Amino acid sequence: MTHIYNFSAGPAVLPKEVLAQAAAEMLDWHGSGMSVMEMSHRGPEFISIYQAAVRDLRELLAVPDNYKILFLQGGGLGENAIVPLNLVGRKAQPATVDFVHTGSWSGKSIKEAAKYATVNVAASSQAEGFCGVPPQSAWKLTPDAAYLHICTNETIDGVEYPFAPELAGDTPIVADMSSHILSRVIDVSQYGVIFGGAQKNIGPAGLTLVIVREDLLGAALPICPSAFDWSVVAEHESMYNTPPTYGIYIAGLVFQWLKRQGGVAAMEKRNIDKAALLYAALDADDFYQNRVAKAYRSRMTIPFFLRDESKNEAFLAGAKQRGLLQLKGHKSVGGMRASIYNAMPIEGVQALVDYLNEFAGR
């Protein structure tokens, strides 16, 4: 088999070391005689796996003590409902929720939240084709909003926030970080809630991560399912119902791998280098095109187009021959997309760049 590099948007590439360790431990975890998949989530073996995962994630992101780390199910899209179900009850009904619309994923969040709250789109980059983030000075925020929702990396559009918003009032910021969490240093204390599906930059599909400030707990609407009520989940250490145990185990191995790489700051340095290498090849001449304004270009999820779209099929076929997989763009935007998450080594980006240059005849 030729060496493969997987540029899938998600489920996505995982560190080879992590997969090898999981394979070695598959039938007998640490002499327990059991696979992690077969363990009770309440037994001492799994509890130790869970506790290490929480501890390592807290360390990696420097999560302050007044924040809970929750492992749920339901994915990023599930959180689009779970967030308003947990937060709009903080205000008199009907409550207003603010959004910044920067692409496909924040658009989906807006639609879902409208089932539970009055939605105010405080700013949108839709008219400009989602090529950036509207400057914070132009956001028309609601003074008494239950929260402000942003998507800090628009996976499909390839737009990433280069800044963390700072609000004057006490409106909590909810950030969908599904596709770039752990790729760059963040200050958790600037957010009320951070959430993300695991399948982009953490681990397998089926696990959803929520980091929530404690004072935001306890306001769930009466119709909120108990299994999605963050205060109930927090009270039960993410074991109110059976959590996605194997997903938590793999995520925990990824957290340990990240620590061995030097942590999030070290990953961020590598991610800057990887993205710079790829964008330089895309920008070298007119053969390829990335339409996002430079200041907002994602380091993780990079859509691009061939100017001559009649060459798309040939491009993808040649990429596949060279072991460069899953480069086809999202169906809603077409073209190509390279997702270069933490687990994508710079060698993979270099292999893609070599192919980009070769295909362009450079």
Residue from 281, 303, 300, 284 nearest 292 by CA: 303
The continuous run of DSSP H or E covering 98 comes out as strand 96-101
| 303 sits near ligand PLP (criterion: CB under 6 A) | no
Contact string (CB under 6 A) for ligand PLP, positions 34-73, x = contact: ----------------------------------------
Count of H-run helices and E-run strands, the chain: 9, 14
SS3 97: strand
Beta carbons of 101 and 119 less than 8 angstroms apart: no
Catalytic residue among 105, 139, 230, 257: 105
Give the number of C-alpha atoms closer than 13 A to the C-alpha of residue 153, restricted to the C-beta side: 28
Which residues are bridge partners to 304 per DSSP? 336
CB neighbours (10 Å) of residue 66?
9
Pairing relation of β-strands 153-154 and 118-124?
unpaired
Closest approach, Cβ 238 to ligand PLP, in A, equals: 17
In the annotation, is 65 catalytic? no
CB-based contacts of 328, cutoff 8 Å, min separation 6 = 316, 336, 337
**304 vs 355 by CB, closer to ligand PLP:** 304
Radius of gyration, alpha carbons of the chain: 21
C-beta of 75 vs 252, nearer to ligand PLP: 75
| 218/231 Cα distance (integer angstroms) | 5
We find the least distance from the C-beta atom of residue 9 to ligand PLP, in angstroms, to be: 7
Stretch that binds ligand PLP, among 33-41, 74-82, 185-193, 342-350 (CB under 6 A): 74-82
Answer for which of 6, 178, 298, 342 binds ligand PLP (CB under 6 A) is: 178
Q: Which is nearer to ligand PLP, 172 or 203 (CB)?
A: 203
**Which range touches ligand PLP (CB under 6 A), out of 35-43, 46-54, 115-123, 175-183?**
175-183
User: Using the rule CB under 6 A, which residue among 6, 102, 124, 179 binds ligand PLP?
Assistant: 179
Take residue 66 and report the two structure tokens written for it. Answer: 């007044």
Q: Which is catalytic among the residues 56, 98, 139, 200?
A: 200
Strands 96-101 and 118-124: parallel
Q: How far is CA 337 from the centre of its chain?
A: 16
State in angstroms the smallest separation of the CB of 198 from ligand PLP: 8
77 counts as binding ligand PLP under rule CB under 6 A: yes
Asked if residue 42 belongs to a known ligand binding site, the reply is yes
Exactly one of 197, 247, 252, 303 binds ligand PLP (CB under 6 A); which one? 197
Q: Which residues, 3 to 32, sit near ligand PLP by CB under 6 A?
A: 10
**Beta-bridge partners for 193:** 174, 212
Is residue 342 a contact point for ligand PLP (CB under 6 A)? no
Cα–Cα–Cα angle for 63, 68, 69, rounded to 5 degrees: 75
Residue 176 appears among annotated catalytic residues: yes
Q: Check residue 195 for interaction with ligand PLP (CB under 6 A).
A: no
User: What amino acid occupies position 21?
Assistant: Q
Cβ(131)–Cβ(291) below 8 Å: yes
**Residue 247 CB, nearest approach to ligand PLP (Å):** 11
Shortest CB 75 distance to ligand PLP, Å: 3
What is the largest distance, in Å, between two alpha-carbon atoms of the chain? Answer: 62
Q: Is 83 in the site for ligand PLP (CB under 6 A)?
A: no
Cβ within 8 Å of residue 224, ≥6 positions away: 82, 85, 86
Establish whether 176 is an annotated binding residue.
Answer: yes
CB nearer to ligand PLP: pick between 75 and 203: 75
**Which residues are designated catalytic?**
105, 176, 200
Binding residues for ligand PLP (CB under 6 A): 10, 75-77, 105, 151, 155, 176, 178-179, 197, 200
The binding site for L-glutamate consists of 42
The binding site for pyridoxal 5'-phosphate consists of 105, 155, 176, 199, 241-242
